[in-house]
Amino acid sequence: MGRGGLRSPLPWLGALLLVYLGGPVAYFLYRFATTQARGFHDAGLFPAFWVSIEGATISTAVVTLAGVPLAYVLARHRGPLTAVLGVWVMLPLALPPVMSGILLVYVLGPYTPIGQFFGGHLTESLTGVVLAQSFVAAPFLVVTARAAFSAVDPTLEEAAKALGHGQLARFFKVQVPVAAPGIRAGMVLTWLRAFGEYGATIVLAYHPSSLNVYTYIQFASSGLPGTVAPTALALGVAAVAVLVSRLVVMRRRSRRRDTGALPAPRHPAAPAPAPLSFDVQWRLGDFRLEIAHRSEALRLAVLGPSGSGKSALLRCVAGLYGRGPGPVSYGDRRVEATAVEHRRIGYVGQGFELFPHLSVWEQVVFARGADPTIGAYWMEALRLTGLERRLPSELSGGQRQRVALAQALARSPDVLFLDEPLSSLDVPVRMELRREIRRLQRETAISSVIVTHDPEEAALLADEIIVVVDGRVLQQGAALDVYERPRSTAVAELLGIRNVFPAVVERGGRLRCATGTVLQASGVDAPPGSAVLWQVRPGDVGASAAPGTAGAGAGGGGGGLAGYAARLDDLSWLGGRIEARVALGAALVLEADGDPLRTLSVGSRLHVSIAPDAVRAWPALTGADQDAESRTPPGS
């Protein structure tokens, strides 16, 4: 600790509490070592000790059996009833133990209906000891386990659901193992509290005497000398319990399951084609999602900016929101009424984490219906061989994504859903995994839906594309059609298509832009007055330094409408190429090849030439068309 730390009051305050907590124990150990008559030979000591041990162990078992499910329910649900139940569970912690014993006597005493039903044996017996200990100690387990369940990432529950596991299986295979450290801590606290319980026990069960009752009797009859042995036993038991719990935690952290030799890999059979159809109408707070689509191809991409509803759409179609969003079909199979765990899907999400308590091989074969031989195939295909025993915390980001893919594919799903699975990865890893996914799409002919905001990813991994903004479709259809003819400048921007602008068709194939610039285009298939979009590729924009002061006008056209005066707006070096932005007038800025302009400075006057046959034009999407696009599937 540095000198600055010693000058702070915080370490001194902590040290003061340590002295207060440890001082009495240290002094007792000193007295124990220097005392001859310790009382270990007293006849009632060890019978009382074993009553406390047995009662605390039974109490902990009973409380764990009932308390862990209760803690899970309280952690999973919110509302007034849950709040009331939470307070109810906490009440024994707030009551003095003697009052807890009195409350129990009101219900379990020998003259109560319940007490008479059991022949008066619920008091003055080991049963009475267990009942008293359970009542006082149960809140320690429920409160601790509830906090542990609340800390479990909810996406793990959804991942297990998408992998085919029902509620009970998810509870025992996911929730309990992940929350196990908190549950174990609660069990230790419960056992120690039950072992040390005195007030409620002496009221409900004076006989047989527990260690605490025995200690009180000894103190009342002979003072401190008679309490040395039981106090030493209690300290020893507490130390052993804490030590064992720590050893269990350390052992589990260092544990490695031997997976043995993997089975011989088997290539998965080609699934039946299952193109998607859906008509989703779903509300998330103030956000409204309204999208209909009927796929003709097996590979679909949903493209849009953050917050556009892409992931919500995928969750609706996968079934994670239940049947409410509307009709969904996988091929000829209607599935909106089918629970997600019974849909046979694979789901790899940007927020879905691997199960932290499972090794790589256990992750791969975790799905319900997973085939180990197919899992072994995907382990090899995705280059995971040699990582079988590793935990997720020991994997890189790219390795974790490969494991998630293998996990989803090992059950040979009917449809594979990918929710931006590569967005958080470094560029080299992302490019590599794109190729892996494209290869598995080709090899298995599996139906897949990928959500992305990366237009290159959508083009590489999909045959059809839905462009989504604010929960509505801007454009949908075959990928080639969408990329060749975006229906609006907003779509073109999302697709990463450069130099797309609106214009109005004039006679002779001329296009008049909103800025007033007029250019000539070949093969414009639209009558005069029609609204169109036009595009010129950056490589077809010929830009050079203007000779002298000659120019062709600030936005007009001369020389057959092929030459334009312009200004160098920006010049950027982008690794393997130089990109120029050239301004024709105030608002029309084109991207062009910047290599011929590398010696010029920003603001230089330019001469720009655009060949008429380099200009493509197509009809623009009107407002009425836009409304119809969102609710009408392609081909309808």
CATH number of the domain at 334, please. 3.40.50.300
Residue 4 placed within a domain: no
Q: How far apart are CA 594 and CA 315, in angstroms?
A: 44
Q: Is the pLDDT of residue 167 over 80?
A: yes
Overall average pLDDT of the 302-331 stretch: 92
Question: Strand, coil or helix: what is 520?
Answer: strand
Note the pLDDT of residue 552.
Answer: 34
Cα four-point dihedral sign 534, 540, 544, 549: negative
User: Is 315 within 8 Å of 325 (Cβ atoms)?
Assistant: no
Note the pLDDT of residue 415.
Answer: 93
Note the pLDDT of residue 38.
Answer: 83
DSSP 508: G
Note the pLDDT of residue 477.
Answer: 93
Nearest to 360, CA basis, from 396, 412, 400, 408: 400
Are 333 and 419 members of one domain?
A: yes
Are 60 and 172 members of one domain?
A: yes
Task: Kindly report the backbone phi and psi dihedral angles of residue 602, in degrees, each rounded to the nearest multiple of 5, phi listed first.
Answer: -60, 135
Q: How far apart are CA 617 and CA 507, in angstroms?
A: 14
Helices 45-76 and 176-195: angle between axes, nearest 10 degrees:
140
Note the pLDDT of residue 7.
Answer: 72
Note the pLDDT of residue 421.
Answer: 82
Mean pLDDT of the chain: 88
Domain boundary among 431, 460, 484: 484
Are 437 and 507 members of one domain?
A: no
Are 347 and 445 members of one domain?
A: yes
User: Is 440 within 8 Å of 410 (Cβ atoms)?
Assistant: no
Note the pLDDT of residue 351.
Answer: 65
Cα four-point dihedral sign 265, 271, 275, 279: negative
- Residue 231's contacts (CB-CB under 8 Å, 6 or more residues apart) are 28, 215
Note the pLDDT of residue 128.
Answer: 94
Helices 397-409 and 372-381: angle between axes, nearest 10 degrees:
150
Overall average pLDDT of the 304-328 stretch: 92
Look at strands 345-349 and 510-513 and give their pairing: unpaired
Q: Is the pLDDT of residue 39 over 80?
A: yes
**What is the model's pTM?**
0.82
Identify any residues that bridge with 282 across adjacent strands, giving them in sequence order.
289
Domain boundary among 254, 284, 316: 254
% of the chain with per-residue pLDDT over 90? 58
Are 216 and 88 members of one domain?
A: yes
Residue 261 placed within a domain: no
Are 101 and 243 members of one domain?
A: yes
Token readout for 470 is 């604010």
Tell me the pLDDT band of 635, cut-offs 50, 70 and 90: low
Overall average pLDDT of the 521-535 stretch: 87
**Domain count for the chain:** 3
Note the pLDDT of residue 556.
Answer: 39
Q: How far apart are CA 606 and CA 571, in angstroms?
A: 13
Residue 189, domain extent = 12-254
Q: Is the pLDDT of residue 263 over 70?
A: yes
Note the pLDDT of residue 569.
Answer: 92
Note the pLDDT of residue 253.
Answer: 59
Q: How far apart are CA 352 and CA 349, in angstroms?
A: 5
Note the pLDDT of residue 557.
Answer: 38
Q: How far apart are CA 598 and CA 571, in angstroms?
A: 8
Are 462 and 597 members of one domain?
A: no
**CATH assignment at residue 523:** 2.40.50.140
Higher pLDDT, 624 or 280: 280
When computed from its CA atoms, the radius of gyration of the chain, rounded to whole angstroms, is 36
Residue 160 placed within a domain: yes
Pick the range with the lowest mean pLDDT from 2-11, 267-276, 371-380, 490-499.
2-11
Note the pLDDT of residue 235.
Answer: 92
- Identify the H or E element spanning 472: strand 472-478
Q: How far apart are CA 382 and CA 402, in angstroms?
A: 6
Overall average pLDDT of the 136-161 stretch: 94
Note the pLDDT of residue 163.
Answer: 94
Note the pLDDT of residue 241.
Answer: 87
Are 337 and 243 members of one domain?
A: no
Note the pLDDT of residue 41.
Answer: 86
Residue 479 placed within a domain: yes
Are 140 and 220 members of one domain?
A: yes
Overall average pLDDT of the 397-417 stretch: 91
Overall average pLDDT of the 244-248 stretch: 79
**CATH assignment at residue 63:** 1.10.3720.10
Note the pLDDT of residue 553.
Answer: 35
Nearest to 499, CA basis, from 577, 419, 610: 610
User: Is 104 within 8 Å of 203 (Cβ atoms)?
Assistant: yes
Are 550 and 413 members of one domain?
A: no
Are 371 and 475 members of one domain?
A: yes
Are 241 and 324 members of one domain?
A: no
Rounded (10°) CA dihedral 513, 514, 516, 520 = 10
Residue 631 placed within a domain: no
Q: What is the pLDDT of residues 41-72, one digit of tens each?
A: 888 999 999 999 999 999 999 999 999 999 99
Q: Is the pLDDT of residue 362 over 90?
A: yes
Residue 267 placed within a domain: no
Residue 470 placed within a domain: yes
Q: Is the pLDDT of residue 205 over 50?
A: yes
Q: Is the pLDDT of residue 627 over 80?
A: no
Look at strands 447-452 and 299-303 and give their pairing: parallel
Residue 7 placed within a domain: no
